[in-house]
Amino acid sequence: IMDLHQLKKGKILIVGDIILDEYLKGSVSKVSPEAPVPVLKPENRDLKMGGASNVAFNVKSLGSKVELIGVIGKDSAGKEIKSLLKNKSIKASLVTSNKMTVNKLRLLAGQQQLLRLDKEELFTREEWLLTKKLFINKLKNFNTVVLSDYGKGTLLDVPFLIRESKKRKIPVFIDPKGNNFNKYKGAYIITPNLQEFSAEVGGFTSESGFTYKAKMLIKRLSLKALLVTRGQEGMTLFEKSS
């Protein structure tokens, strides 16, 4: 399995759904007279990189050379993403769309989340053609590809990205989304959480059932490895049987 040391000296191309995570924190002292809802008095606003931009930040903090490819809109959220990336010195090649930047706004009173507002429009072929062009031009400068799929439409044709990478013998790491993992066939490793894994392979009642289903998935998708994240229980790594 590729270890952290390899990632540290790696040149990593990250492609996927860029999300702006926005937190509006404040205090609640009354209930609205208009409806039975709390009235939030905003006190501070916090912006974080989410989705593929967060992956880029985490991978860069390991010491790797990183470049991010993704889609943003011509809006204030897109500008915020650009400035966050610049702030963290993350090199990015961004496709600018007429659609809005994916933006998740959370309203919080103290630690309590009151509401999450998701602003997004699914990206389509128009953005994909530009994303694909950037990927083809950049690929030769990297030795690892990470695909960060949040189901927002940036990665319209995952098999194409895997094929192109494999032609150059570049391993592809994937953070998957959705309930059809067939498009991830031929990746080096995928890293679903337990919920995503179970949705794909069906339920299981024991650790041995878990292992069996993991091995079957590795075989079906021709993976080298599978890493299932399990929340409080940490994570479990399965490798292809040699």
pLDDT at position 103:
98
pLDDT at position 10:
86
pLDDT at position 192:
94
Does 241 or 199 have the greater pLDDT score?
199
22 with 45: CB under 8 angstroms?
yes
Per residue in 116-145, pLDDT (tens digit) is 999 999 999 999 999 999 999 999 999 999
Cβ neighbours of residue 242 under 8 Å, at least 6 residues apart?
none
Res 29 pLDDT > 80: yes
Res 242 pLDDT > 70: no
Q: Average pLDDT in the 80-95 region?
A: 98
The total of other beta-carbon atoms located within 10 Å of residue 206's CB is: 8
pLDDT at position 180:
86
Task: Assign domain 4-19+49-102+120-175 to its CATH superfamily.
Answer: Ribokinase (3.40.1190.20)
pLDDT at position 177:
87
Confidence tier at 241 by pLDDT (50, 70, 90) = confident
* Buried/exposed code over 33-46 (b: 16+ C-beta within 10 A; e: otherwise): eeeeebebeeeeee
For the chain, the residue count is 242
For the chain, list the strands marked E by DSSP.
11-16, 18-31, 38-51, 65-73, 91-97, 102-109, 112-119, 144-148, 172-175, 189-190, 225-229, 235-239
Domain ranges of the chain: 4-19+49-102+120-175
Q: Average pLDDT in the 10-34 region?
A: 96
Q: Compute, in degrees rounded to 10, the torsion defined by CA atoms 135, 173, 8, 136.
A: -10
Mean of the per-residue pLDDT values for the chain? 94
Confidence tier at 233 by pLDDT (50, 70, 90) = confident
Per residue in 140-183, pLDDT (tens digit) is 999 999 999 999 999 999 999 999 999 999 999 999 987 789 99
Sign of CA dihedral 48, 180, 136, 98: negative
Confidence tier at 25 by pLDDT (50, 70, 90) = very high
